[in-house]
Structures are given as C-alpha cells and as structure tokens.
Amino acid sequence: MKNKFNELISNLKKCRLCEKKFGFEPHPVILGNANSKIVQISQAPSATVHETLKPFTDQSGKKLKYEWYQISDEDFYNPNNFYIAALAHCYPGKDKNGNDRMPPKVCYETWIKKELELINNEIYVVIGAKAAKTFFPNDNFNDLIFKDNYINGKLAIVLPHPSPLNIKWFKDHPKFLQDRIIEIRKEIKTILKIK
C-alpha cells in the first residue's frame, strides 16, 4: 500500500495535464504521507503558494493555522500530522474577469480519489464551499459547517474558507467563531496530541 502511495505521489508531482489550459507551467503542491492523521482538502493553491510551493503560506493560511487551529508551523507542516491537498493540486490561474479559475475536474478524477483510497488518516477537514460540494453534493454548505459529517466512515469537519475576502460570511454566522471553531480546534489538537 505504501509503495502504491509513493508511486502515485511521484507521478502526481510530475503532472502537467493542465499546462495548455493554464498557459503556464503547473506546479503540483502537496504535503503529507500515507499515514497523516488529518487529510485537509481545500479548493486550489493561491498565486502565493504557486510561488512558494508550500501550502497555506498566504493570508488564508495565517488565519487557518494561527487563529483557527492555534498550532505552530512545525505542527501544521509535519507530514505525520497533515496531508494537505486540494481539488486542484496546482494554482489554476485567473479567468478573464480576474477571479481564480475553478479547479479542473481532471485533477480530482485523476489524483484525489486515488490519494484518499491510499491514506490511513483519522479525520478529514474540508475547506470552502467548492470542496464541500464535491464531497457532500446534496447538503447545504452552512449546515455542513455546524455539524459533524463523515467521509469513508471517518469524521469530516467542514470549514468556511479562511480567506480575507470572506468577511460577510463571518458577520452573518457569528456562532462559527464564538462556538464551532472552538470545538473543531479541540478535536484537531486531540488528534495531534498537542495542548
């Protein structure tokens, strides 16, 4: 199983399926191993992450790591703790309106499905509405955030996107920062065995 996983990741890192579509060289960004405790899946890497090749090195990452999880970079980037992936492993670029392009479905179909079959994780963290829709197509996004969900029989926590552009959502849902994130943080720290 471990050999299959390592072979998959080796091939994934060489993936150039979307190069013509993007118009620039894709850089697959991934971190973790076959026994990471937490599988965290978001939408796609940002332009900053495309440059650094390290996930969540942007403003969203600061909020996620330091405010929401309240853990150190050492804990977050420890491959035994987190398997960090996205619906698109590469930054997809901007559309003609200057918005981030949607993650290409080919990435999920080619890679993510196979990765999830090979990782021996304890829980999932799904970040953002687009990622949540992939795993829970018939559920209301806000409902998913405020309850425990399951993927492959394992706990799946759904988070809103920690983007600085998401201010309205947080204003409209004050219970997230008041209550829900405290429960989520406790769960994550328990799994990582940190205080």
Model confidence band, residue 105 (pLDDT cutoffs 50, 70, 90): confident
What mean pLDDT do residues 124-149 have? 96
Q: For position 182, what pLDDT does the model report?
A: 97
Dihedral of CA 64/68/69/72: which sign? positive
The string of pLDDT tens digits covering residues 155-178 is 999 999 998 889 999 999 999 999
Interatomic CA distance for residues 42 and 95, integer angstroms:
19
Output the pLDDT for position 193.
Answer: 95
Model pLDDT for residues 11-68, shown as the tens digit of each residue = 999 999 888 888 888 999 999 999 999 999 999 888 888 888 889 998 999 999 999 9
Give me the torsion for CA of 9, 33, 73, 62, rounded to 10°.
60
Pairing state between β 149-151 and 154-159:
antiparallel
CATH 3.90.79.10 for domain 2-192:
no
Question: Which residue is it, tokens 């209550």?
Answer: 179
Per-residue model confidence as pLDDT tens digits over 59-97: 999 999 999 999 999 999 999 999 999 999 999 888 888
pLDDT of residue 56: 92
- Domain parsing of the chain, residue ranges: 2-192
Select, from the ranges 53-57, 109-113, 149-153, the one with the highest average predicted confidence (pLDDT): 149-153
